[in-house]
Structure 1
Amino acid sequence: MNGVRAPFERFTRQGAAGGSPSVSADTEFPLSRATSFASQFAAVYLNFEAIRSQERAARLAPYLPDGAEAQFGWDGLGRMAAGAVQPYGTEIVDRDNAVVTLAFQSGNRRQLLSVPVFHDSQTDRFVVSGRPGILPAPTPANLPPVSAGERDEAAEAELRTPLADFFKAYAASDTASLQRYAAAGVTLEGFGGAFTFVQLKSLSVPLVGGATRDVTATVVWGVPSGATPSPGSTPSDPGDMSGKLEQAYLLTVVKQGDKWFVKDIRGAQRSVG
């Protein structure tokens, strides 16, 4: 056997003869670092095009064992683009081996990539120990409907104007205005002008509760285009136009006297319906 090929073929044969060995309770495989290593590998492995094959081979080399094919299974034709590589799961095979599964996005498809990884405990180094495998990712879960519950329409009417003013100040990080709407002892920062307030589209206040309520608000933000139009010009590229983005928030509000104040703001929970 060629001495250069031997390390790669040894890695790819591991576990093939006797199936998956049992893992003892004292197994200490460095999961987080192996996942980081596999994630970096996947970001290179999943992106290729024929005119940049040499660049890809050079970028793959730090992850592959001696004797591995430079393109690691790709024939040098066609192209593929992938991103949003994230950890999905890990199967520890034994003290030195694991299979790291990563989720990624390619076009309009969400998929998985399983990467076998070997850890050399003597040198504390990693290497991809065999061919990866692309798998389909699970489809989205079915979301069962939930009832909306009774709403306090009187409180909604009271809150609509002050919350609209609050979100306007929140978008601009208008400190003075924010403090007028913040509960005692609460400091709110806001977006600092990254978005502009367009509309408080909906507001839901549950009927139950006293002076402190958790309310759900749907807000429309204006998204700046980032472009600087010429005077009198009309943008023809949609990317140069200011957009709108709906977001949902859960706010804890407190009533003191006849006024409502914001105690906390965070992302909303699941939608009803």
Structure 2
Amino acid sequence: MPPLGPTARRVLGLPDPGDWERKKQRKKTKQGQAAQGAVPQPAANPWETAAQQLLAQRTAPPTPAPARPATAATPAAPWATVEERSGSAFARRFGRGVLWTLVAALALLGAKSVLLPKKVPDPVQSAGPAQTAPAYPTDEAQAVASRYARAYLSWDEATPETRAASLGAVLPDGADTKAGWDGKGKQDVLAIEPGTVTLAAQKQARVRVDVLVRPVGPVLPPKPGTPPAPTLPAQWLGLDVPVVQAGGRVVVAGPPGIVGVPKTGPKAPELAGPEADTAFGEQTAETVAKFFTAYAAGDTETVTAPGAFVPPLPAGVSLVGVESWTADKGQGADRSGTARVTWQIGGAQLEQTYRVELTRVASADAQRWQVAAVHGGTA
């Protein structure tokens, strides 16, 4: 068992081992004195002395302890107790607080850099929203090109100033209003159809215009001794008109060019039609025939559903007959179908196609199908 320390011996009231050596020295001193004639004293038991002192401390009221003789010194503690000043204690606590605050701040910064890394700014976004250029005024370009095409392809050698005035309204200031015409012949423009606008650099564009022209008089001068050449009928031709945007307006940028017009259109795709309902078609065939008869006669109110509005056809159109009626397969109170109809107009017969919408109308004692709407074509 290890020896008890000074604090434990002090709490238990036990003497310091060094006292034993001093007591042995005193005993030897007394024995020497006895040998010289002194009266011997009985040796004191240190454990009994310590027990008596501890019992006296517990039972006696706290009174100032009498001073011990110089020969019986109190064992000294192994450390020195120094009273701590309040200022030094505050400084030590404040320093510890500052240190821990700094440690916590560094820990938070490290966690933020890991969990929320700093975003690198996007150069595109930092530059702000992109400035988009305004759209090219295609409607104005088509209008200017159409006016120019009508004036450019119309001429009359009897009144050349009329063509020059019409061209000057759409040409840049100071441009030649003759525009390549030699001042001879006569030609009329019957129709104008503006088409595609193809954009180019420096605010330029090319506008396609289809023009229906009709030459007046012979196309070529007759040769001596030959009859005059026949006049060509009206025909469509294409005109590519260059335009440019300047000063907030669109003007013609230069001479145009005549181009050909396709003789045929592209090949149409094969479209799948709706599945037919033969029974429903037979059931509603008479309803459809009555509608087209009234449609041409100018009275549609009696053959259309309540609330439907179908304007009658103009005068001069009469019904030859409903060639076919095919109802689409379906259910419910609203059905559709396709009708092929032949009309008499302008001294000729013309076959056309219609999409017819039917709705079921019920009354107190019966129900019937009536036309709700009609549209030309198959779409």
TM-score in same-fold range (> 0.5): yes
For residue 291 of structure 2, what is the aligned residue in structure 1? 166
Structure 2: distance between partners of 1:39 and 1:116: 12
Match of 1:201 among 323, 335, 350: 323
Equivalent position amino acid for 1:119 in 2: Q
- Offset, 1:258: 5.2
Question: How does 1:51-200 map onto structure 2 within 5 Å?
Answer: 51-77=158-184, 80-94=187-201, 96-106=203-213, 110-121=236-247, 124-138=248-262, 139-146=264-271, 150-174=275-299, 178-191=300-313, 193=315, 195-200=317-322
- Offset, 1:104: 2.9
Structure with the greater alpha carbon radius of gyration? 2
Secondary structure of 2:322 counterpart: strand
- Offset, 1:90: 1.5
How many pairs align?
225
List gaps (5 residues or longer) in structure 1. Answer: 1-23, 226-241
1:60-98: CA deviation from partner (whole Å, max 9, x where unpaired) = 222223443332123334555544322212133356433
- Offset, 1:35: 1.8
Structure 1: distance between partners of 2:203 and 2:317: 49
For residue 150 of structure 2, what is the aligned residue in structure 1? 43
Structure with more contact order per residue of length (Cα contacts < 8 Å, sep ≥ 6) = 1
1:22-80: CA deviation from partner (whole Å, max 9, x where unpaired) = xx941454332232121111112123354554432333222223443332123334555
1:154-207: CA deviation from partner (whole Å, max 9, x where unpaired) = 333332222222122222332xxx333222332332225352333212212234
Structure 1: distance between partners of 2:340 and 2:157: 46
Could you tell me the TM-score, scaled by structure 1's length? 0.68
Secondary structure of 1:73 counterpart: coil
Given that 2:142 and 2:195 are in contact with CA atoms closer than 8 Å, whether structure 1 keeps it comes out as no
Match of 2:341 among 211, 215, 219: 219
Could you tell me the TM-score, scaled by structure 2's length? 0.51
List gaps (5 residues or longer) in structure 2. Answer: 1-130, 214-232
Report which of the two has the higher share of strand. 1
Secondary structure of 1:44 counterpart: helix
Given that 1:27 and 1:95 are in contact with CA atoms closer than 8 Å, whether structure 2 keeps it comes out as no
